[in-house]
Amino acid sequence: MIHKISGTVIQGNRIGRTLRFPTANIALDDDIPVRDGVYAAEVRTEGKIWPAMVNIGTRPTVTDNGKRFAEAHLFGFDGDLYGRTITIFLLQYIRGERRFTGLDALNEQLQLDKQNILNLFNK
Ligand SMILES: Cc1cc2nc3c(=O)[nH]c(=O)nc-3n(C[C@H](O)[C@H](O)[C@H](O)COP(=O)(O)O)c2cc1C
């Protein structure tokens, strides 16, 4: 398994901002052999490392186009990474990607993911 993914941050559909979990998104080819799902991760950009939660997959709750992305929500980061290069280090698999009934249900899960992953970092 690849533990490290680099790419240029592309514009998402900005739902992340309404979810209050803004993400830095990079496109991923289908053949990158990483299991889809949510990971505890660290993200390096501009010489700094941020703890993060990362989703790898096609986001079945919000899109049907099958396009695969790595989406990183950086804890404590408040800014726009659009156009920047980021490197994602996947540290631990947390759960599979799922189709939620709507954005409220997805948002609740993201809050749980955040708590779980922050607990891991604080161990
Ligand atoms: C930690 C994390 C977990 C996620 N889990 C799922 C998931 O299980 N199912 C899903 O459809 N989308 C999931 N997403 C993707 C969200 O649908 C996506 O980030 C949101 O739609 C915002 O997209 P945007 O940044 O393009 O606006 C996850 C995103 C993150 C950051």
Q: Residues 9-67: pLDDT tens digits? A: 998 777 766 778 999 999 998 888 899 999 999 999 989 999 999 999 999 999 989 89
69 lines ligand 1 (CB under 6 A): no
pLDDT recorded at residue 16: 65
Domain boundaries, the chain: 4-121
pLDDT recorded at residue 6: 94
110 lines ligand 1 (CB under 6 A): yes
Q: How far is the CA of 14 from the centre of ligand 1 (A)?
A: 11
pLDDT at 1 over 70: no
Which residue, by CA, sits nearest to atom 10 of ligand 1? Answer: 59
Class of domain 4-121: mainly beta
For the segment 72-111, what is each residue's pLDDT rounded down to a tens digit?
A: 999 999 888 999 999 999 999 999 999 999 999 999 999 9
pLDDT recorded at residue 2: 55
Q: How far is the CA of 55 from the centre of ligand 1 (A)?
A: 6
117 lines ligand 1 (CB under 6 A): no
CA distances from 57 to 100, 105, 121 (A): 14, 18, 23
Which residue type does 88 have? I
Diameter over CA atoms, the chain? 38
